[in-house]
Amino acid sequence: MSPPARIGFVGLGDQGAPIAQAIIDGGYPLHVWARHSASLGALGNRKFTVHESPGDMAKVSELVALCLPEDTDVLQLVVDGGLLAGMQPESILVNHGTGLPETARHLAGLGAVRNVDVLDAPVSGGNAVARVRQLTTIVGGTDDGVARARAIFDTFSKSVIHVGPAGSGQYGKLFNNALMMMNHQNVIEVVNLALRLDLPVRSLIEVLRSGSASSFALQAIGPSITVDNVEHLASLELIDMDLFSAATASLGQKRMPVVERALAGANGLSELTRLTQS
């Protein structure tokens, strides 16, 4: 089957807006449904078509992308909101939000009944990275579905990684986020040692960013994580750790060292940002 040409989109927030912009700029006709019309302003002067209901948008879309905050939002729209009912056979539904692998597998099952390929494709990088179209898109789903959607993903991604079957994309994103938060905690502990020695923290951070100790956790402080947005980002990290803990619950206590260290990193992110940007 040929790649999708007409794209539907829901979720023009902090992450979704630059993704939708990139899709339009990539030459794809974009069909949009928005709960609040004010959010359409995020697309600027670009051309797009607005629909009155999710179902109407789905009927004319060969691929529908969702960028919504939580699984409950996705399920409400897809099932109760009539989006899946409006999708044509052999079309593709993509969930770019971060959620539970179990929910991703449930959605894939619902889609299979209607011959709709459902992909879980959360993205990593944040708003600043999305704006320069360098996101990492982490995909779970069928080989055929991922192959057909790849050209769309390429409009906003530096890399597209097919992890495995439905749910694998969510696992990939959650493990990625957990390790990033653990790396935050590594930085926090190093900075605290430096403070005890009265070392200049900002200069030390510059060394760590430039040397072999560098990581995304370090690089993001400043460009993506600032004193203005850190409280919001830290709250999102805590939500992600709730998801990680739930997704790995079958491992019992074996997962707890990772969970606890990642939570410490998320809880200390505000203070770390203040120390490195003051």
Burial 117-137 (b: 16+ CB within 10 A, else e): bbbbbbbbbbeebbbebebbb
Indicate if 47 belongs to the active site.
Answer: no
The answer to whether 62 touches 39, Cβ cutoff 8 Å, is no
> Among positive and negative, which fits the CA dihedral 137, 143, 147, 152?
negative
Closest CA to 95 of 71, 116, 66: 66
CA–CA dist 98, 39 (Å, integer): 21
Paired strand residues for 225: 221
Active-site choice (47, 59, 173, 254): 173
What amino acid positions are annotated as catalytic residues? 173
